[in-house]
Amino acid sequence: MMVTRKAFHEELDELRDAVGALGQLAIDAVEHGTTAFLDADVAAAEAVIAGDRLLDARMAMIESRSCELLARQQPMAVDLRTVLAILRIVHELERCGDYMVNIAKAARRLYPHALSDEMKQLITRMREQAVVQLRAGLDAFARNDVALGEALADMDDVMDDLQKELLRLIFATRSGEEDVQEAVQTALVGRYFERIADHAVNVGERVAFMVSGVAPGAIEAAGDLEVRSEEDPPSGPTT
């Protein structure tokens, strides 16, 4: 039995390492995809789009191995929660890659149009914030750091503010019909970065579940139910 459990935890550690490697692929996609967009580099954009297949394949591999581990070992308690968290986290990371594919495609749509320096600087800040949040989520997972995972929700306010700033800049600089395509594409890019940051927050929530066993939103939901039970009048007949 001890040999079996040792083998199980070795496999689990390998899966955790694979999640970290997948996260690095997602971060690389954010870095390279944003650079392609800012530089109007169609060749680099195509490379990001093609590279997403590797991210998808790695995600599918981790998912398959996790399911096999569940079936063979039937883990319990924190081990079970770790495998379940891995299954959720890899999908969060895979979606980040998908959003960077969309940003790379936006580079193709705007080519050869160049963005203003002010717009480039703002999108660069969004890229940096997305990378910061993804790294924080991955670090929280690697270290079982609940506090860092929970801090991601506050960090996400920075990305929300950047998205609002981007929209204000778009509306302030639009001068005619020829700017419509740029306005649409840059607004979508801002939305994609905001969603990447949201997925990083989700990673942090899965870490909290993995360590504590409390599902994301469970405490708030329980509190809402308690308040409703105190406020709502009895529905049955009274005597």
pLDDT of residue 220: 53
| pTM, 2 dp | 0.87
Q: Is 237 inside any structural domain?
A: no
CATH number at residue 80: 1.20.58.220
Residues 8, 10, 11, 13, Cα dihedral to 10°: 120
Q: Is 45 inside any structural domain?
A: yes
pLDDT of residue 238: 46
Question: What Rg value do the Cα atoms of the chain yield, rounded?
Answer: 22
Rounded CA separation 204/213 (Å): 13
pLDDT of residue 43: 96
Do you find a cis peptide bond into 112, omega within 30 degrees of 0? yes
Helix axes 77-110, 2-39, angle to 10 degrees: 20
Q: Is 8 inside any structural domain?
A: yes
pLDDT in tens, the chain (239 residues): 555 678 888 999 999 999 999 999 999 999 999 999 999 999 999 999 999 999 999 999 999 999 999 998 888 899 999 999 999 999 999 999 999 999 999 999 999 888 999 999 999 999 999 999 999 999 999 999 999 999 999 999 999 999 999 999 998 876 666 578 889 999 999 999 999 999 999 999 999 999 999 876 654 554 554 555 555 555 444 44
User: Taking the chain, what is the end-to-end CA distance rounded to the nearest angstrom?
Assistant: 61
pLDDT of residue 151: 96
Rounded CA separation 113/107 (Å): 9
Q: Is 61 inside any structural domain?
A: yes
Rounded CA separation 144/148 (Å): 9
Domain range enclosing 206 = 2-231
Q: Computed from CA positions of residues 63, 199, 129, 153, in that sequence, does the dihedral angle turn out positive or negative?
A: negative
Q: Is 239 inside any structural domain?
A: no
17, HSE (Cβ side, Cα atoms, 13 Å): 6
Name the domain count of the chain.
Answer: 1
